[in-house]
């Protein structure tokens, strides 16, 4: 199949979510031409705020190719939120259970149906103190090698300024009005890995290749170089055990856009 229709539930979610996003935030969107017009594909997105799924979904909705997010299964329960999650075709993730492979199978099925599956490869909000992408899990790499579908790197910035991760008070900081920046890059070339056995080493290398593309886009967006080595929370925990010094949580970044960069409006 080439692509799936947006459908009632996604349009309803857009009717509810887009007006406040348009009213409360500016937008600086680029790279929409890299989102495939047809066929299944993966997007790999950095994660630095509880608000950024809305920012990214708004961006991609306007391309006509809506994302199917992998989300924790607790969001699919009773009530309106659960109905929206099921109705929009989001994919539940059951961590550390006998159903843990269901998300992988569902992602494969969605891509074979010509849909987009959106991965946050880090698996959670970044713990990097400067808000760069941290080390990632291999789920996106596994699906990419199995399907050989395009993998589109996506970087976003700005939602973390309105709702910083790990803040003491989980509230929106709307003033001054923030700019939600989203940029999609060209597909990551993974052809060198297609005929290799997907060993843990190969999956790790593919994951690092994908995340390097995402981080490069974010560096362009922020106008500053990224760290040479991504932050690894496991290494930080080991260091804590050895030294007894608890790592500090990420501090909210202060810059909104790259030096000398003018934030622009895009399609609503």
Contacts 24+ apart (CB under 8 A), 218-223: 218/46, 218/132, 218/133, 218/155, 218/156, 218/157, 220/155, 220/183, 220/258, 221/155, 221/157, 221/181, 221/183, 221/257, 221/258, 222/157, 222/255, 222/258, 223/257, 223/258, 223/259, 223/260, 223/261
Say yes or no to pLDDT of 2 above 90: no
Task: Label residue 104 by pLDDT band (50, 70, 90).
Answer: confident
Segment 194-203 mean pLDDT: 96
End-to-end CA distance of the chain: 28
pTM: 0.86
pLDDT for the residue numbered 99: 63
Give the angle 31-35-41 at the CA atoms, nearest 5°. Answer: 140
Give the SS3 label for residue 44. Answer: strand
Of residues 72 and 91, the one with the higher pLDDT is 91
pLDDT for the residue numbered 95: 67
Say yes or no to pLDDT of 1 above 50: no
- Measured distance CA(202)–CA(3) in Å, rounded: 30
Segment 168-188 mean pLDDT: 90
Per-residue DSSP letter, 75: G
pLDDT for the residue numbered 98: 57
pLDDT for the residue numbered 79: 81
List the single range of 53-62, 64-73, 150-159, 176-185 with lowest mean pLDDT.
64-73
Residue environment code for 119-143, b if the CB has 16+ CB neighbours within 10 A, otherwise e: bbbbbebbbbeebbbbbbbbbbbbb
Contact in structure between 143 and 107 (CB atoms under 8 Å): yes
φ/ψ of residue 81, rounded to 5: -60, -45
pLDDT for the residue numbered 250: 53
Q: Which of 193, 207, 64, 192 is nearest to 123 (CA)?
A: 207
Tally Cβ neighbours within 10 Å of residue 185. Answer: 19
- Measured distance CA(117)–CA(68) in Å, rounded: 5
Task: Label residue 72 by pLDDT band (50, 70, 90).
Answer: confident
């Amino acid at each position: 199949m080439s692509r799936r229709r947006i459908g009632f539930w996604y349009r309803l979610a857009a009717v509810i979510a887009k007006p406040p996003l348009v009213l409360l935030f500016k937008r600086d969107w680029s790279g929409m031409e890299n989102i495939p017009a047809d066929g299944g594909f993966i997007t790999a997105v950095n994660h630095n705020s509880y608000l950024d799924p809305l920012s990214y979904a708004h961006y991609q909705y306007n391309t006509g190719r809506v994302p199917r997010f992998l989300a924790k299964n607790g969001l699919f329960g009773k009530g309106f939120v659960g109905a929206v999650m099921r109705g929009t075709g989001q994919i539940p993730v059951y961590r550390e259970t006998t159903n843990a492979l269901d998300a992988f199978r569902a992602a494969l099925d969605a891509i074979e149906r010509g849909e987009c599956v959106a991965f946050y490869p880090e698996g959670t909000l970044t713990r990097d103190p400067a808000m760069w992408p941290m080390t990632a899990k291999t789920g996106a790499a596994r699906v990419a090698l199995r399907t050989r579908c395009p993998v589109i790197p996506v970087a976003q910035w700005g939602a973390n300024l309105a709702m910083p991760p790990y803040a003491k008070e989980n509230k929106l900081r709307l003033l001054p009005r923030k700019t939600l920046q989203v940029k999609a890059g060209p597909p990551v070339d993974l052809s060198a890995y297609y005929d290799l056995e997907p060993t843990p080493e190969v999956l790790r290398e593919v994951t690092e290749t994908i995340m390097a593309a995402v981080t490069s886009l974010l560096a362009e967006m922020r106008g500053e170089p990224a760290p040479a080595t991504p932050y690894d929370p496991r290494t930080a925990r080991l260091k804590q055990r050895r030294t007894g010094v608890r790592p500090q949580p990420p501090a909210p970044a202060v810059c909104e856009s790259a030096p000398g960069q003018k934030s622009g409006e895009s399609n609503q």
